[in-house]
């Protein structure tokens, strides 16, 4: 049973560029959440997708956007990259959707470095 997978594992970009990160949820999961983890900090919630729609959003600017596909996989897009966007980006999946507060299972993350 495959867990949550993310790609790429590492990424280096320059300021002003755009980046797309990808996530495939754990088998049987239909809800995907994205988190940003700066060095030495706990993960911060970016947003959650369910049924191909953004269900909840954390305190992140509109430069951060996402998408969920019919197969439940998801993308995180960040435009106009800033140095402060350098972080580990974690994807978490849970099941099923709806109001139940299911445990979130995390992927290995994508380490983004903005120069």
Partner 1 sequence: AQKVTQAQTEISVVEKEDVTLDCVYETRDTTYYLFWYKQPPSGELVFLIRRNSFDEQNEISGRYSWNFQKSTSSFNFTITASQVVDSAVYFCALSVYTGNQFYFGTGTSLTVIP
Largest CA distance in the chain: 40
Q: Is 105 in the site for partner 1 (CB under 8 A)?
A: yes
Strand 10-13, strand 110-114: pairing: parallel
- Determine contact, residues 86/113, Cβ cutoff 8 Å: yes
Q: How many residues form the binding site for partner 1 (CB under 8 A)?
A: 25
Give the residues across from 78 on adjacent strands: 19, 64
2, 39, 53, 103: which one contacts partner 1 (CB under 8 A)?
103
Among 32, 66, 109, 112, binds partner 1 (CB under 8 A): 109
User: Considering the rule CB under 8 A, would residue 45 count as an interface residue with partner 1?
Assistant: yes
Nearer to partner 1, 57 or 67 (CB): 57
Calpha distance 115→108 (Å, rounded): 22
Under the rule (CB under 8 A), what is the footprint of partner 1?
Answer: 33, 35, 40-45, 48, 55-56, 58, 88, 90, 92, 99, 101, 103-109, 111
């Amino acid at each position: 049973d495959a867990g949550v997978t993310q790609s790429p594992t590492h990424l280096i970009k320059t300021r002003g560029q755009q980046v797309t990160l990808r996530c495939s949820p754990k088998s049987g999961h239909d809800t995907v959440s994205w988190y940003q983890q700066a060095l030495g900090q706990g993960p911060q919630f970016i947003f959650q997708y369910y049924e191909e729609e953004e269900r909840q959003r954390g305190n992140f600017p509109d430069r951060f956007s996402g998408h969920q596909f019919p197969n439940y996989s998801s993308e995180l897009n960040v435009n106009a990259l800033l140095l402060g966007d350098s972080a580990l980006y974690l994807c978490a999946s849970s099941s099923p959707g709806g109001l139940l507060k299911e445990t979130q299972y995390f992927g290995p993350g994508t380490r983004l470095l903005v120069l």
